[in-house]
Each structure stands twice: as C-alpha cells, then as structure tokens.
A = this chain, B = another copy of it.
C-alpha cells in the first residue's frame, strides 16, 4: 500500500519559514507521509486566486489525497477551519470560499468544522493556524484517524461569488479569472464560443475589431499576434504569441473581457442559451 499524500497550497512565499514549519509538524506526527508542494506563491491573501488554482489541479490527484490550504486573511478570528470531503478530494481549509469551485461539482460535499482542540498544537497561536491546527489534523487524518473525530458536520460555509459570464444579444461578456506566468489571460467564458470566430474582442479597456485570430494553439499564429483559444481548463483564453497579453492589455484578474459578433444571428454561442 502506498504512503498517504498531503499537498500544501499557501500564500507564504519562499522566503518565510512558515511552510517549512508546517512540514516539520506533519512529518513529526507521521514520518511516513509524503508531502507534495502545490505552491507557496498564491498572492498574499488572494482567496480567488487560490480557488482558481485548486480547481485546476486538485481534481487530478488520487481521491484520498489530503489537500491542506493556507490562504487565510482571517486567521485567528471567528472564521471556522473546515475539513471538506467533496468526493474527489479531502481538503483542510479556512472557511473563506477557497474551495468553492471544487464544491460545485458532483455530489454534495461533507463539511466539518474543526473543533476538537485536543488534536491541535498547544499553545495554539492566534496567527498561525496552519502550523498549529491544520498541520496536526492533516497528519492525523493521514494516519487513518476518522473525520468525525475532528468536529461536527455543518451545512453553513462561505462561498465565493464567481461572476458567471453574461450572454448578450451579440456575444458574451465575462472577466479574467487568472493570468499566468506567460501573461495568458484565462477568462470565465466557455471556450467553445470561439469556434465561430467573433468579430470583436474586448480586453480591459481595449476593443479589437481586426487583428486577432481564433486558433487551436499558440504556435498556430505568428509571434506577436493576439489570439483567442481554448485554455487547458476549457475556458476562453486571450494570449499574445510569444508575448504577454496581460502586459499588452494592462489586464489581470477581474478585467472585463468580451467577444461579439456583428451579425447576431450568426452567433456561434447560440447553443449556450439552453445550458
């Protein structure tokens, strides 16, 4: 049997000792567990970034993996800490909606509040629950301790409000969910709308009537071209071939994006009206 897996996702950065301290706590309780770093570079306190991040990687892991997430601007306040089982994954998270997108799928999640303090490190700091609460609970879960011993079920948790893309008479309006290392802008608009190439592309304050193309992949257009394509998460993505769309358009998370057709009746997105 393989050793259990605990993944770590934090906004601690690479210069602070906080993630390392959590690894020490986990390995002291369960020396056999395998720790997998997902990232420690979520932008500070950016719960929406964390939600996008987790949604794009957690579903690929074995379902018994324990995902520990510390993006926690509310640490030490009355915000709860949760143990979530959403079928495809187990998560230990602050109750701030960072797992919202994962919970949208399939079965209703089972959610518990971490309340049983005798499993926590003592004294329990008010500013580092990752080390003092989430790490020891993750280690004990990985040792096979039952979920119900950590706290009672709850039906009440924070959900992030991710704005849905809007269907207009002549196209779609949405926003940037994520900008990656390459400056590619991943939007909340479904990727298949691009198959009938739109006539107008809006990104941030800019509007392009010509000068962009709908392609299958980056290499399908000349360097420097503005392209729209389907992201690896099946969303509409705006990119600049071998360039940086985030810089070119001055756009980032939350920037408005739209695709429009001059003749509405040809709008390829028609089929989405019945989604």
Distance between Cα atoms of A113 and B36 in the complex (Å): 30
Contacts of A19 in B (CB 8 A): 39
> Which residues of chain B come closer than 8 Å to A24, judged between CB atoms?
57-62, 65
On whether the beta carbons of A27 and B40 are closer than 8 Å, the reply is no
Chain A: interface size category: 35 or more
- Least CB distance, A228 to chain B, in whole angstroms: 12
Q: Are B75 and A218 in contact (CB under 8 A)?
A: yes
B25 near A60 with CB under 8 A, answer: yes
* Chain A to chain B: the 8 pairs with minimum beta-carbon distance, closest first: A76-B217, A24-B60, A13-B181, A77-B219, A128-B232, A14-B41, A20-B57, A17-B56
Tell yes or no: A236 within 8 A of B by CB.
no
The answer to whether A43 has its CB under 8 Å from any CB of chain B is yes
A32 within 8 A of B: yes
- Within A207-241, the residues touching B (CB, 8 Å) are 216-220, 229-232, 237
Asked whether, in the complex, the Cβ of B28 is within 8 Å of the Cβ of A131, the reply is no
A160 near B: Cβ within 8 Å? no
CA distance A57 to B127 in the complex (A): 15
A232 touching B2, Cβ below 8 Å: no
Report the Cα distance A127→B182, complex, angstroms.
Answer: 13
A186 to chain B: closest CB distance in Å?
Answer: 10
Given contacts A24-B58, A126-B217, A127-B232, 8 further A-B contacts (CB under 8 A): A13-B41, A17-B53, A17-B54, A18-B57, A24-B61, A25-B60, A28-B60, A127-B229
Q: Does A11 contact B (CB under 8 A)?
A: yes
20 contacts between A and B (CB under 8 A): A5-B31, A12-B180, A14-B14, A14-B39, A14-B41, A15-B181, A17-B53, A17-B57, A21-B232, A24-B57, A25-B60, A27-B61, A45-B182, A60-B131, A73-B218, A73-B242, A74-B219, A76-B216, A77-B217, A127-B231
Chain A, 28-51, contact with B by CB distance < 8 Å: what is the 0/1 string? 100110111111111111000100
Judge whether B39 and A15 touch: CB under 8 Å.
Answer: yes
In the bound complex, what is the Cα–Cα distance between A218 and B18 (angstroms)? 16
